Amino acid sequence: MSQTSDRAGQLPALDDLLAEIGKTFEVAFEPLVVDDLSFDVLSIRNMQAYLDGMLARKAIRDPLKDLPLWAKVWPASFVLGRYLRRFDPQGKSLLELGAGCGTLSLVAAHYGFSRIVCSDIVPQALRFAQANVLRNALEKIITVTSVDVTRPGRDPRFAEGFDMIAASEILYLDELHRPLLKFIERHLAPGGKAVFATDLARAKPHFGKLAAKTFHVDERRIGLTSRDQEGKEQRRAYSILVVERA
């Protein structure tokens, strides 16, 4: 396992976590700059070797579920993070679903949310997210935990509900749409909103139509210009769905 230089005062818990992650992946923290914010985000260095191993074991049966998509830093997380600023986040609570490595939660913490729950159902994703939270000294704001939206009933851990529920690139599995909407209905605080960001190339119009049967739904589209590894300019469009009780 490779690692960039440690920050002063790095928590022992982070060292233990990196040791556990290092049993499977070769990792390093890499700088990530979003607007005027800067983070360290854990990156997999041996991804190709890991994927080759999965192919050799015939472990990829459903690419959407089996591949480590949670390890990717998705641009939609930045688009959504910026958009959340429109809802006056100071002092509010946020639940991030399908967080992967937790990039959106990192951004949201710096935009003023006072309590953030960063969640996923993949154990390795939760380890990476926890490592990122510790590395960036945000453990007093962000709690990392497993949340399964398909479970029936209200999660007793979240009795007060959340002012905001947010997720980026989570709508690709059609079978999650109905349980996700039921989860939102049970866990939004009064006056709360759920916001989803999806690359327009992967947009799921069915989800918005289904949500509109129960909620008020507003859709916006936002363009993002970035550069690829070769320095070529790329422009992509994103769908932002805002869901709130009608």
Query: Can you give the CATH number for the domain in which 97 is found?
Result: 3.40.50.150
Task: Determine the average pLDDT of the residues in 72-101.
Answer: 95
The verdict on residue 10 lying in a domain is no
| 91-116 pLDDT per residue, tens | 999 999 999 999 999 999 999 999 99
CB neighbours of residue 166 within 10 Å: 28
40 within domain boundaries: no
The reply to whether 38 falls in a domain is no
Domain that includes residue 107, residue range: 70-245
**How many domains would you assign to the chain?**
1
Query: Would you say residue 103 lies in a domain?
Result: yes
User: 44-58, 91-105, 126-140: which range is least confident on average?
Assistant: 44-58
Which amino acid belongs to residue 21?
I
C-alpha R_g of the chain: 18
pLDDT-derived band at 29 (thresholds 50, 70, 90) equals very high
In a domain, 65, yes or no: no
Structure-token pair, residue 181: 């909407």
pLDDT at 11 over 90: no
Share of the chain above pLDDT 90, in %: 72
What tens digit of pLDDT does each residue of 183-238 get? 999 999 999 999 999 999 988 899 999 999 999 999 999 987 766 556 677 788 99
Which class for 246: exposed (0-12), middle (13-18), buried (19 or more C-beta within 10 A)? exposed
In a domain, 54, yes or no: no
Asked whether 172 and 64 are in contact (CB, 8 A), the reply is yes
Tell me, what's the pLDDT at 233? 75
CA distance 152 to 146: 15
Residue 108 per-residue DSSP state:
H
Question: Does the residue 27 lie in any domain?
Answer: no
Dihedrals phi, psi of 87, to nearest 5 degrees: -100, 25
pLDDT at 4: 40
Rounded-to-integer distance, Cα 157 and Cα 100, Å: 20
Kind of pairing between the strands at 37-44 and 115-120: unpaired
| Model confidence at 5: pLDDT above 60 | no
Strands 142-146 and 115-120: parallel
Residues 126, 42 contacting (CB under 8 angstroms): no
pLDDT confidence bin for 67, thresholds 50/70/90: confident
Q: Is the pLDDT of residue 30 over 80?
A: yes
Calculate the average pLDDT of the chain: 90
| Average pLDDT of the segment spanning 54-61 | 88
The answer to whether residue 235 sits within a structural domain is yes
Least confident of 28-37, 56-65, 92-101: 56-65
Whole-model pTM: value is 0.89
Q: Answer yes or no: are the C-beta atoms of 170 and 97 closer than 8 Å.
A: yes
Report whether pLDDT(3) > 50.
Answer: no
Residue 10 has pLDDT above 70, yes or no: no
Q: What is the pLDDT at residue 12?
A: 57
Beta bridge partners of 239: 198, 221
Chain centre distance of CA 25: 20
What confidence score (pLDDT) does residue 155 get? 96
Helix axes 75-84, 103-110, angle to 10 degrees: 30
Task: Supply the pLDDT for residue 228.
Answer: 59
Whole-number pLDDT of residue 86: 95
